[in-house]
Structure formats: structure tokens, C-alpha cells
Amino acid sequence: MNKASGGSHIGSASILLIFTVLSIISFATLTLVNSKADYNLSNNLTERQKLYYEACHKGNAFVAAVNSGYSSGIEDGIMKESIPITDNQSLDIAIDANSANNSSNSDNTLSIIQWQIVNHGDFNYDSTLPVLK
């Protein structure tokens, strides 16, 4: 009679073990998916940051050229330059060329009026979640 009551505890331990293993597998899978998404996001941000800083370097070269006497394309005393970052964005720079003549200091006499990232076209931001991928 005692043998029948001892067998019921073995089944509950097996169910608990199976539930624990399935939980660990589920959490490991979720962690792997989250890590891959973070890796992709980091790569995209790294590429975006690299493109932005390349445009900033070109903008600094433009400002240095204007400061050293480059004066092509002046409109109403303002020199403008648009440096592409991506297909839909550019870094727009506007410099007041007249401020160089009014200043008594010979170095760094230009006034930067605009240094701004401008979006071109319509943006359709992706707000979907890739649940089924």
C-alpha cells in the first residue's frame, strides 16, 4: 500500500523539471533575439554617426576655406553650402561673409549663421515590430 503513494511524487518532480527547462530555453531565446537587435541598432548608429562626422569635417573645411579668402557663391553677403549626409539629409551651412570686413581681428572673423541638419522629402518611420521574422 505504501508503494502507490510514493509514485505520485515522481511525476510532479518531472513536470517541474520540464517546466524549468522550457523556461530557461525561452529566456535564452529572448536574450539572443534582443542581443541581435541591439547589435543591429549599434551598427546602424555607428554608420550614421560616421556619415555625420564626415559631413562635419567637410563643413569645417568649407569654413576654413571661406576664412582664408574663398568667396565663390556669395548671395546678399551670405555664403551657403549644403553637404549631403544621406539621400534624405544634408548638413546646411550659412556663413555671414560681411562679418569678416567689420571685425578688427584677422583670425576666425566669420559668423556662422546656420549649421543644421535638414531633412529632405517625406519620412515614413517604421513603427512596426518584427514579431514574425
E strand intervals along the chain: 74-75, 78-84, 89-96, 111-119
Nearest in space to 75 (alpha carbons), one of 59, 92, 97: 97
Q: Is residue 89 part of a domain?
A: yes
Q: How large is the average pLDDT for residues 24-37?
A: 97
Mean pLDDT value across the chain: 84
Domain that holds residue 73: 2-119
Q: Is residue 79 part of a domain?
A: yes
Residue 106, pLDDT score: 52
Q: Which DSSP category does 132 fall into?
A: -
Query: What is the value of pTM for the model shown?
Result: 0.67
117 DSSP 8-state letter: E
Give the number of domains in the chain: 1
The torsion angles phi and psi of 72, rounded to 5 degrees, stand at -85, 135
Asked if residue 56 is part of any domain, the answer here is yes
User: Is position 76 within any domain?
Assistant: yes
> Which tens digit of pLDDT belongs to each residue from 79-104?
999 999 998 899 999 998 776 555 45
Q: Is residue 75 part of a domain?
A: yes
CB atoms within 10 A of CB 100: 19
